[in-house]
C-alpha cells in the first residue's frame, strides 16, 4: 500500500502536470469508487479547475476552484497514471479525469476511492488523523508525546494513522531498522535515547524515500524514471532471509499484532 513517500511523489508529479488545469471530461466505470451518483460526479467535476494538489497522510487532495476537493486514497493495489489515450494503461481504469488531451487514470481502485467532498466534509474526514511526520512544527518532544499512554508494540503505533499519519508496513520497518529498535518493542520500555533515534529515523527515512521516488514500481507518466527508486534501497522490508546490508545477518520475517515485520536480529537486538 502506498505510504507517505509514494503519495508525496504523486503530489509533486501531479502538481507539475495538473495544477491550474481545467477538467475537460470525466468517466467512472466503478460506482463504488466514488461517493455519489456517477452522472452527478461527472457534471460536478467537469468544468472545474484544479487549483493545487495537497497530500494529507496517505491521501491526495485535488483542490477544485469551487472550494471542493477530490480526495484520493489508493488503499491496497491502487495507482495513478497520467498520460494520453495512446498511452492508456493496459488495466481496468475505475475513474478518469481528462485535462485536454491528457488524462489522469485511477487504476486498481477496488478498495481505494475518489471522493468529492466540500471543505467542511474534508475537515471532518481528516479530523481523527494524526500529525504529519515531516511537519516542521513536530519536535522530538512532541513526537514522543504522540505515543504517550500507549502500552502496545511500536510497530502498531507507527502504522496507526490516528497517532501519526502516512506511515504503513514498509516504512515502519525501515524506520525501526534505522533507529536500531525492534518493531515489536513495547512502547513503555523505550528509553529516552531510543525516542530521540526514532524521531530522527522517522524524518530521515521518509525524506530519503520521498527524494528517491518511494517504492511503488509503476511509473506515473511516460518517461518517469523517479517513481520506485526507493524499492532497491529498502533495507529490511520484504527482504526476509536476505543478508542485512549493515552486518550480513539474515533479515528475519515474523508477525506482530497481525502485521508482517522485517528486522535484523543483530542490528535491532531484542530488549
Ligand atoms: Zn544487521
Three-state SS sequence of 144-163:
HHCCCCCCCEHHHHHCCCCC
Return residues with CB closer than 5 A to ligand 1 (ion): 244, 246-247, 249, 264, 266-267
Distance (Å, whole) CA 125 – CA 165: 13
Q: What is the mean pLDDT of residues 107-136?
A: 96
Q: Where are the domains of the chain?
A: 4-126, 140-263
Q: Give me ligand 1 centre to Cα 259, in Å.
A: 21
Looking at residue 187, what is its pLDDT?
97
pLDDT digits (tens, 9 = 90+) for 137-162: 999 999 999 999 999 999 999 999 99
Looking at residue 189, what is its pLDDT?
96
pLDDT at 217 over 90: no
Q: Give me ligand 1 centre to Cα 254, in Å.
A: 16
- Please, what CATH class does the domain formed by 140-263 belong to? mainly alpha
Q: What is the mean pLDDT of residues 117-132?
A: 97
Q: Give me ligand 1 centre to Cα 180, in Å.
A: 9
Looking at residue 271, what is its pLDDT?
81
Distance (Å, whole) CA 113 – CA 191: 40
Strands 93-99 and 25-28, by their bridges, are antiparallel
- Pair 204, 179: CB distance under 8 Å: no
Q: Give me ligand 1 centre to Cα 210, in Å.
A: 24
Q: Give me ligand 1 centre to Cα 200, in Å.
A: 19
In the sheet that holds 79-84, the strands lie side by side as 25-28, 93-99, 102-107, 79-84
Looking at residue 62, what is its pLDDT?
98
Q: Give me ligand 1 centre to Cα 269, in Å.
A: 9
- Please, what CATH class does the domain formed by 4-126 belong to? alpha beta
Q: Give me ligand 1 centre to Cα 243, in Å.
A: 8
DSSP 50-99: EEEEEEETTEEEEEETTS-EEEEE-TTT-EEEEEEGGG--SS-EEEEEEE
3-state secondary structure at position 125: helix
Looking at residue 267, what is its pLDDT?
98
CB atoms within 10 A of CB 142: 12
Q: Give me ligand 1 centre to Cα 68, in Å.
A: 48
- Pair 206, 171: CB distance under 8 Å: yes
- Pair 259, 159: CB distance under 8 Å: yes
Q: Do domains 4-126 and 140-263 have the same CATH topology?
A: no
Q: Give me ligand 1 centre to Cα 267, in Å.
A: 4
Angle, in degrees to the nearest 10, between helices 4-18 and 192-211 = 30
Average pLDDT, the chain: 96
Looking at residue 57, what is its pLDDT?
98
- Pair 23, 45: CB distance under 8 Å: yes
Could you tell me the CA-to-CA distances from 61 to 183, 231, 257 in Å, in that order? 31, 25, 31
Q: Give me ligand 1 centre to Cα 247, in Å.
A: 4
Amino acid at each position: 500500500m502506498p505510504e507517505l513517500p509514494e503519495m508525496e511523489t504523486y503530489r509533486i508529479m501531479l502538481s507539475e502536470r495538473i495544477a491550474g488545469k481545467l477538467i475537460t471530461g470525466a468517466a467512472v466505470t466503478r460506482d463504488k469508487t466514488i461517493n455519489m451518483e456517477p452522472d452527478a460526479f461527472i457534471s460536478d467535476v467537469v468544468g472545474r479547475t484544479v487549483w493545487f494538489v495537497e497530500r494529507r497522510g496517505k491521501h491526495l487532495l485535488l483542490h477544485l476552484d469551487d472550494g471542493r476537493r477530490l480526495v484520493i486514497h489508493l488503499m491496497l493495489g491502487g495507482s495513478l497514471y497520467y498520460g494520453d489515450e495512446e498511452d492508456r494503461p493496459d488495466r481496468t481504469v475505475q475513474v478518469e479525469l481528462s485535462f485536454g488531451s491528457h488524462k489522469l487514470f485511477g487504476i486498481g481502485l477496488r478498495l481505494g476511492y475518489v471522493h468529492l467532498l466540500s471543505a467542511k466534509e474534508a475537515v471532518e474526514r481528516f479530523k481523527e488523523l494524526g500529525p504529519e511526520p515531516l511537519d516542521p512544527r513536530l519536535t522530538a518532544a512532541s513526537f514522543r508525546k504522540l505515543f504517550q499512554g500507549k502500552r502496545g508494540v511500536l510497530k502498531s503505533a507507527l502504522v496507526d494513522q490516528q497517532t501519526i499519519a502516512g506511515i504503513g508496513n514498509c516504512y515502519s520497518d525501515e524506520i525501526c531498522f534505522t533507529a536500531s529498535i525492534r518493531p515489536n518493542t513495547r512502547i513503555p520500555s523505550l528509553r529516552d535515547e531510543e525516542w530521540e533515534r526514532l524521531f530522527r529515523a522517522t524524518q530521515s527515512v521518509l525524506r530519503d524515500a520521498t527524494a528517491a521516488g518511494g517504492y511503488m514500481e509503476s511509473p506515473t507518466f511516460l518517461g518517469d524514471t523517479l517513481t520506485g527508486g526507493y524499492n532497491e534501497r529498502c533495507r529490511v522490508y520484504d527482504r526476509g532471509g536476505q543478508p542485512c546490508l549493515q552486518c550480513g545477518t539474515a533479515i528475519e520475517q515474523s508477525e506482530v499484532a497481525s502485521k508482517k515485520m522485517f528486522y535484523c536480529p543483530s542490528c535491532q537486538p531484542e530488549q
